[in-house]
Amino acid sequence: MAKAEYTSEKLQEVDIESVSSGSLSDIYANAPTGKATNFQAYVNVVSVLAGAGTLGLPAALRDAGWVGLVILVLACAMAIYANQKLIKCLYYDGRTRLREYPDIAHAAFGMTGRVVVAFFYNSIALGGPVLYLILTGTNIHDLASSVGSSITLKQWIMIAAAIMVVPIIVTKTMREVAFLSIFVALSTAIVVFIVMIAAIIDSKDIGLMTKPDGSLAPIHHDIVIPRNLPLALATFAFSYGGNVIFPHVEESMKNKRAWNKIIFWGVLTVTLLYVLCSISGYAIYGDIVKSPIYQNLPGGATRTISTIIITLHVLLAIPLFLTTFNLQIENALKLESRGFSSKVEWLYRAIIRTSSMVLVTVIALFFPYFGQMMSLLGAMSDGMLTFVFPILFYLKLFGFKKTNKAELVVMILVVIIGTAGAVIGTIDAIKELARVFHGEGHH
């Protein structure tokens, strides 16, 4: 079976039956030990998943109706299950621990699998920071312009990039990134609660909502809007994307046996935030809720504070994704095994990471429609990477015969639902891109 030996770590020989049957204790006992605590790993998981997109989920609930909450819970369960299987694939042969997501694809389907996954993998790991940098620059520019600043959008993007080079170089692994992750996770929670409280205050009466002219208008809620359910599925599935980082998070853990618990509680925490934001936003604003929801709030301190915190969130999230991208390059170059002194190794790492930040900045500055293109790539990538590929790779590596029938049914359902979400999201993103090119959208 094809496997990228140069990106695997040798373990002691263990019984492969124990791996396929669900007990990884023997392998974890011999796996290279990281230094990150369970809490640091948990915070990294929450930070990766709970992005700025959280504030767009009330609009997704508006489009689907209250039944959308069922879809959200389903996506939560699928994300937990698929990401447990993904990490299990790292130890599939009982002798090595693969390093990252593309290595699993290589082990399962050879070079073809690696190339396909690497394309999706890098579109997220590199494309995410580009989008975050654009959003950071745009938000800072809007805030600064309101107080008379003459600094341009492109200049703000370059300033933000220059600031983030420092933590990207300093943070060697996901363990070091964890201190930034704490602020990323907290910022999302803070904004959700600010928006919830402000929305409740803004609601003048039950069943009524304040219009821009100050008058009260009835709001409307739907139980279900059947025609929009497929798109809601794609939106909620997209909100659990980001697992390209998880192999590196698990690698950094001191207690790797705890991974299943970490991913369970991490995804559950994020889902709680999603549910709180979605229910409060849709319950109060109904069919007039906007995306992101803070656009419904009256202008002033609340909206400004929310914008500032979200800007800090996306800015500090850049190292999460870019560290993953850089680690992939450093692993391919076998930087740690070349016998360099610590100073020389640090210099090479600084060059690699500065170069990646420069690349991200250039794309953010000079590629029009990148946001729409990233939505297209993200729709395809997140659905496949989050739900479909982990299950397909698991079945290929461990075999259908070693999987009981009940679990096989669950796996097939996850693959079907994940594929449907990816296809529907891709079609919607293509339509949006077409509108942009025909002058109906914006960029």
Distance CA 436, CA 420 (A): 24
In this structure, which long-range contacts are made by residues 340-348, counting pairs with CB atoms below 8 Å and at least 24 apart in sequence?
Answer: none
* Residues forming a β-bridge with 205: 208
Would you say residue 73 lies in a domain?
yes
425 in helix, strand or coil?
helix
**61 φ, ψ (degrees, to nearest 5):** -70, -35
What letter would DSSP give residue 36? B
What letter would DSSP give residue 96? E
CATH number for the domain harbouring residue 103: 1.10.4160
| 8 A C-beta contact, residue 3 and residue 107 | yes
Give the per-residue pLDDT at 14. Answer: 40
| 8 A C-beta contact, residue 104 and residue 98 | yes
Q: Pick the closest to residue 1 from 81, 77, 111, 90 (CA basis).
A: 111
Give the per-residue pLDDT at 217. Answer: 66
Distance CA 185, CA 189 (A): 7
Give the per-residue pLDDT at 441. Answer: 46
- Alpha helix segments (H runs only) across 367-401: 370-383, 389-398
Give the per-residue pLDDT at 306. Answer: 82
| CB neighbours of residue 265 within 10 Å | 16
> 292-326 burial string, b = 16+ CB within 10 Å, else e?
bbbebbeeeebbeebbebbbbbbbbbbbbbbbbbb
218 in helix, strand or coil?
strand
Distance CA 388, CA 413 (A): 10
Burial of 131 (0-12, 13-18, 19+ CB in 10 A): buried
170 in helix, strand or coil?
helix
Enclosing H/E stretch for 235:
helix 229-238
Distance CA 351, CA 168 (A): 11
Tokens found for residue 151? 């600094």
Number of domains in the chain: 1
Termini Cα distance of the chain = 46
Distance CA 136, CA 138 (A): 5
Distance CA 29, CA 32 (A): 9
Instruction: Find the domain containing 263 and state its range.
Output: 5-437
Would you say residue 333 lies in a domain?
yes
Tokens found for residue 65? 């109706």
Would you say residue 252 lies in a domain?
yes
| 8 A C-beta contact, residue 419 and residue 388 | yes
| 8 A C-beta contact, residue 90 and residue 247 | yes
| 8 A C-beta contact, residue 324 and residue 244 | yes
Overall pTM surpassing 0.85 (yes/no): no
Q: Pick the closest to residue 428 from 387, 378, 386, 368 (CA basis).
A: 378
Half-sphere exposure for 76 (CA within 13 Å, toward CB): 20
Would you say residue 442 lies in a domain?
no
| 8 A C-beta contact, residue 306 and residue 52 | no
Question: Peptide bond preceding 292: is omega within 30 degrees of 0, i.e. cis?
Answer: yes
| CB neighbours of residue 277 within 10 Å | 27
User: Strand ranges (DSSP E) for 211-358?
Assistant: 216-218
> Tens-of-pLDDT digits for all 443 residues of the chain?
444 443 555 554 444 444 444 445 555 555 666 788 999 999 989 988 887 678 889 988 998 999 999 999 999 999 999 999 999 999 998 888 898 899 999 999 999 999 999 998 888 888 889 988 998 999 999 899 988 889 999 999 999 999 999 999 988 877 777 778 888 888 888 888 887 887 777 666 555 666 556 666 677 889 999 888 887 888 888 789 889 889 989 988 999 999 999 999 999 999 999 999 999 889 888 888 888 887 777 767 777 888 888 888 888 889 888 988 898 888 888 887 677 888 888 899 999 999 999 999 999 998 877 777 777 777 788 889 999 999 999 999 998 878 889 999 999 999 999 998 888 888 887 887 788 777 654 44
| 8 A C-beta contact, residue 238 and residue 425 | yes
Would you say residue 443 lies in a domain?
no
Contacts of 335 (CB under 8 A, 6+ apart): 345, 348, 349
Would you say residue 134 lies in a domain?
yes
For Cα atoms 70, 80, 251, give the angle at the middle one, nearest 5 degrees. 155
Torsion of CA 172, 47, 291, 357, to 10 degrees: 0
